[in-house]
Amino acid sequence: MKGFSSGDARLGGVNPLADWLFVVLWLVGVLGTFIPILPATLIILGAALLHELLVGFSELSRGVWIGLVGLTALVFLVDNLAGLLGARRYGASRAGVWGAFFGGLLGIFILPPLGLFVMPFVGAWVGEVVAGRPMEAALQAAWGTVVGMFAGMLGKFLIHVAMGILVLRAIF
């Protein structure tokens, strides 16, 4: 593996530490995908930046950085669109979408981390009921927000794995 040879003069053999530090932080970021209050994408980007600081910006090419920035933009797009599309697919109105949004914000403070998953459902349901939708339609729309949220998490997970593989291919 690159970085383990005794003839490696880059920063006096810091490469193995930098490489494995990236791996650990990347795994924290990937696991953070499922804990909505953790900035998983920023943890992964920060891990890549820290790695490069430790090795004197010698291992990640401009193409890798462009790929990381592009994947980061994709994460934010998936994160913002998945819940909305899920809610819309299951018939949520504007009130339900806003209810899910505010429910998600409340979920940060109410029963964390469980509240982060439950409160968007409750918020969407309340929004739909307040808007005058029948109970069955309100529940269906609220379910759509949950489906969208989990689809978004799956998408972000896959993108976070791709970000790590992109860096790992460059450093190992």
Residues 89-146: tens digit of each pLDDT: 999 999 998 998 899 889 888 888 788 889 999 999 999 999 999 999 999 999 998 8
For the residues 155-166, what does the mean pLDDT come to? Answer: 98
Mean pLDDT (the chain) is: 89
Angle formed at CA 23 by CA 60 and CA 65, multiple of 5 degrees: 25
Look at residue 1 and tell me if it is in a domain.
Answer: no
- What pLDDT, on a 0 to 100 scale, did the predictor assign at position 71? 98
pLDDT, residue 5, reads: 42
On whether residue 3 sits in a domain, the answer given is no
Looking at the domain assignment, is residue 157 inside a domain?
Answer: yes
- What integer pLDDT is reported at residue 14 of this predicted model? 57
CA-to-CA dists, residue 100 to 10, 49, 73, 146, 166, angstroms: 50, 34, 23, 9, 34
Would the pLDDT of 76 be above 90?
yes
Phi and psi, residue 118, nearest 5°? -85, -40
Task: For residue 2, tell me if it sits in a domain.
Answer: no
Which pLDDT belongs to residue 7?
A: 42
| Phi and psi angles of residue 145, each rounded to the nearest 5 degrees, phi first | -65, -35
**In total, how many domains does the chain have?**
1
**Nearest alpha-carbon partner for 46 in 61, 63, 68:** 68
**Is 48 inside any structural domain?**
yes
pLDDT digits (tens, 9 = 90+) for 135-151: 999 999 999 988 998 99
Q: What distances in angstroms separate CA 99 from CA 52, 78, 94, 104, one per listed residue?
A: 42, 20, 8, 8
The most confident of the ranges 8-22, 75-89, 129-143 is 129-143
Query: What one-character-per-residue DSSP string does 13-55 give?
Result: TTHHHHHHHHHHHHHHHHHHTTSTTS-HHHHHHHHHHHHHHHT
- Pick 158 or 2 by higher pLDDT: 158
- Confirm whether 72 is domain-assigned: yes
Calculate mean pLDDT across residues 29-36: 91
Top-confidence residue, 27 or 86: 27
Residue 43 placed within a domain = yes
Give me the domain span that covers residue 101.
10-171
In this prediction, residue 34 has a pLDDT band, given cuts at 50, 70 and 90, of confident
Of 17-26, 89-98, 156-165, the poorest mean pLDDT is in: 89-98
DSSP-assigned letters across all residues of 112-160: TTHHHHHHHHHHHHHHHHHTT--HHHHHHHHHHHHHHHHHHHHHHHHHH
Residue 5 lies in a domain: no
Q: What pLDDT, on a 0 to 100 scale, did the predictor assign at position 37?
A: 78
Report the percent of the chain where pLDDT is more than 70: 92
